[in-house]
Amino acid sequence: VQLEEFGGGSVQAGGSLRLSCKGSGYRYGAVCITWFRQAPGKEREGVAAIRSGFVTTYLADSVKGRFTISQDHDKNTVDLQMNSLNPDDSAIYYCAASEAHLATCPNWDSPNKVRFWGRGSQVTVSS
């Protein structure tokens, strides 16, 4: 299984960025794809998740109303659209795959449930 992140970069507060996760080596529809982030000195936290092949999505309270997660079945990608960014959103963002349960992603925001990780993509938001 391989997961690769694209996008990210630097933006001023209030701006937008889009991250894309390209997956391969697994059966589409069998996993949950989660975006995690980790800032220096902080724990890795779940930001958003989607049940591949379904419409089930999850968002952390800190990003609701600002971030959206979506998938492209044909490209096997999961995108994270990030709007109204603020400096607290600065972190390395990781794409991760975990086991799904029916149409859901149990404990979607727990790093301990992740089976495969991408290498990460830096997002920096300046004030």
Residue range 15-60, pLDDT digits in tens: 999 999 999 887 777 899 999 999 999 999 999 999 998 989 999 9
pLDDT band at residue 115 under the 50/70/90 scheme: very high
Read off the tokens for 111. Answer: 């790093």
Q: How far is residue 110's CA from residue 44's CA, in Å, rounded to a whole number?
A: 9
Please report the pLDDT score of residue 25 as a whole number: 85
Give the pLDDT of residue 37: 98
Q: Which residues contact 34 (CB under 8 A, 6 or more apart)?
A: 46, 47, 48, 49, 50, 58, 95, 96, 97, 98, 105, 108, 109, 114
Mean pLDDT of 4-17: 97
**Whole-number pLDDT of residue 29:** 76
List, for residues 63-101, the tens digit of each pLDDT value.
999 999 999 988 999 999 999 999 999 999 999 999 999
Spatial CB neighbours of 102, under 8 Å, sequence gap ≥ 6: none
